[in-house]
Structure 1
Amino acid sequence: MDGHRAPMGRRNALGAGAGALAAALAAGCARTDGAGGAGGPAAVTRPPGTAPTTTASGTPGPTATVTPSPAASRAAAPAPRGFPGLPFRIAHGPRDRPRVALTFDGRGDPDLARAALARCEQAGAHVTVLAVGAWLADHPGLARRILDGGHEIGNHTEHHLDLASLDERAAYEEIAACARRLRRLTGSIGTWFRPSPTTYASPLLQRLAQRAGYPHVLGCDVESLDHAATRVAAVTRKVAGELRNGSVVELSLGRPVTVDALPLLLAEIGRRGLRAVTATELLGRPAADVTRTAR
């Protein structure tokens, strides 16, 4: 299951109806060009006196021993339960079950994020939100909102920087800082980690994620490219053209075009006889086994 891969009016796309969906699907599955956008990776300044080590992309550099701080070590324990027998990086679930996982990068407009969650819930869908720590710091109530809706929450780094451009110490801290924030807000660091700004994790990033307490990196096999899209049709045809049993779909939580596209995407999932579940459920663990704090 291994494989490789930031935020328009609020009109509800339900008004478009089945005609818009049919037109979107008929257009094929052409990809939307572009990446990054307004929410792309930010510039990184190394703290004074900090020498570069190995970069998170795996580029050789001067050797260094990284010792996590006591706080970071506490955030990493206890580790979430993994899925024995599966690779560290998971890109999709079983192909013989009619289930898919909608996974969202948690950042952007908080009102749009709430609207996206509500639309998923109206369709009976449970989703996985990989949240940016700084976004949760600005909107701390969203962590509980996600869990209270029957969804699950995971780690998408603290500031959504380009981890591959950071040295080992800084990359680890991006993962560990978000883990600490998740633990403070929810009582758990979450089961899943997804790197930023891409779902690909180099061998070094895999080791850093494991050190922070994550048994798996959550990739995807369907990229919506909604971070660069301005039209609902571009998102719907991209996802609908690649969706199949076991798919893990990458979406953005706080983007207008995504919120507008969700009713059509959820209707298409239902039309195909698929069920949208959390990544944990997709991999075979029942919802009741997902770690959540007591209400």
Structure 2
Amino acid sequence: MSVNRRSILRTTAQLATLTAAGGLLTGCGQEAATGGGAAASEHPAHPSPTPGAPTVLTPNRIPAATPSAAVSGAPSAESAGASPSAPEQPPLAANTPAEVISGPSDRPQVALTFHGQGDPRLATALLTAAEQHGAKVTVLVVGSWLDQQPQMARRILDGGHELGNHTLNHLDISSLSADQAYAEIAGCADRIKALTGSIGRWFRPSAAQFATARVKAQARKAGYEHCLSYGLDPRDYADPGAEVIQRRMLGSIKPGSIVALHMGHQGTVDALPAVLEALQQRGLSAVTASQLCS
């Protein structure tokens, strides 16, 4: 072997070694968003529905994160006993805006959307009630809840429902910096993707009805082209009772309505069957947000 050929082979081997070492440093040295954190209030009167949840991260403690990064505490699809295949979704209408508040008013459909957190038994009872009435819902999950209840991701999708992103720790996202907001969105996206194979279509800002321009930009950066707002809020998080929730919903709901509701509240579970029966009597179908906007 000539001297030149030996030199080339030696240099190639050195480059391969350095490349491998660099990859290890990138994977192990990157700081990712942690999964702890109870939900901050959607509204001031809304308490955390998860007893014993870890302490909420304060904004200046939120590290940067990316949707493709390995996230500490995010369970894999295999560990949760789930297939990592992405759920199929209907294509959205071409005129779907960047922030959706309501759907078409000329179709007999409404979307019931849920803040995904709280006692998994109540969440399961709510999903079961919807399925018994032929309804499909959209659940915007808090990422730290998925750390505690990873099985709920597949339970939602396997029931024919839709799964979206409601940030990692449910902080007041409007008050966060761009990097902090991105970490909240991307941290939740990582958890959803690890469990289902997809980050989902929708992002809903935490502790806010509408997304600011900064939050919309960070949502797009994390892979969400559309934010999902709502036009009807029966304030079920305040636990006013099933009859009040029913009255507030049925008194205002109409074709195209997107309703904001919450898992983890017994009154919401109790109210849902009567609400769905009343909607059926009016000829209205409860569909996912994607179906409403397709």
Normalising by the residue count of structure 1, what TM-score does the alignment of the two structures yield?
0.73
Q: How many residues align?
A: 232
Identify which range, 216-225 or 229-238, moves more after superposition. 229-238
CA displacement, residues 69-93 of structure 1 (integer Å, 9 cap, x when unaligned): 48359xxxx9x96543222100111
Identity %: 45
Counterparts of 1:249 and 1:241 in 2: how far apart (Å)?
Answer: 12
Q: Please tell me whether residue 242 in structure 1 is matched to residue 242 in structure 2.
A: no
Any unmatched runs of 5+ in structure 1? 1-5, 8-33, 51-66, 285-295
Q: 1:47 aligns with which of 47, 61, 67?
A: 61
User: SS of the counterpart of 1:227?
Assistant: helix
Equivalent AA in structure 1 for residue 199 of structure 2: I
Counterparts of 1:249 and 1:183 in 2: how far apart (Å)?
Answer: 25
Normalising by the residue count of structure 2, what TM-score does the alignment of the two structures yield?
0.73
Equivalent AA in structure 2 for residue 98 of structure 1: P
After TM superposition, give the deviation of residue 205 of structure 1 in Å: 0.5
Q: RMSD of the TM alignment (CA)?
A: 2.6
Counterparts of 1:245 and 1:222 in 2: how far apart (Å)?
Answer: 12
State the match for 1:172 in structure 2: 182
User: SS of the counterpart of 1:171?
Assistant: helix
Counterparts of 1:243 and 1:39 in 2: how far apart (Å)?
Answer: 27
CA displacement, residues 114-163 of structure 1 (integer Å, 9 cap, x when unaligned): 00000000000011000010001100000000010010100000111110
The 1:68/1:106 distance shift into structure 2, 3 A limit, reads closer
State the match for 1:71 in structure 2: 68
After TM superposition, give the deviation of residue 172 of structure 1 in Å: 0.7
Counterparts of 1:107 and 1:167 in 2: how far apart (Å)?
Answer: 24
Counterparts of 1:226 and 1:124 in 2: how far apart (Å)?
Answer: 22
Identify which range, 225-234 or 113-122, moves more after superposition. 225-234
Q: Please tell me whether residue 37 in structure 1 is matched to residue 34 in structure 2.
A: no
Q: 2:269 aligns with which of 244, 259, 283?
A: 259
Equivalent AA in structure 2 for residue 71 of structure 1: S
The 1:187/1:165 distance shift into structure 2, 3 A limit, reads same
Counterparts of 1:171 and 1:70 in 2: how far apart (Å)?
Answer: 13
Q: Is the 8 A contact 1:35 1:227 kept in 2?
A: no
CA displacement, residues 243-274 of structure 1 (integer Å, 9 cap, x when unaligned): 00011111002211100111111111111110
CA displacement, residues 102-121 of structure 1 (integer Å, 9 cap, x when unaligned): 11010011100000000000
Which structure is richer in relative contact order (CA contacts within 8 A, separation 6 or more)?
1
CA displacement, residues 207-266 of structure 1 (integer Å, 9 cap, x when unaligned): 010110011000111112100133112211111111000111110022111001111111
Any unmatched runs of 5+ in structure 2? 1-40, 50-54, 71-85
User: SS of the counterpart of 1:223?
Assistant: coil
Q: 2:144 aligns with which of 134, 137, 149?
A: 134
Equivalent AA in structure 2 for residue 44 of structure 1: T
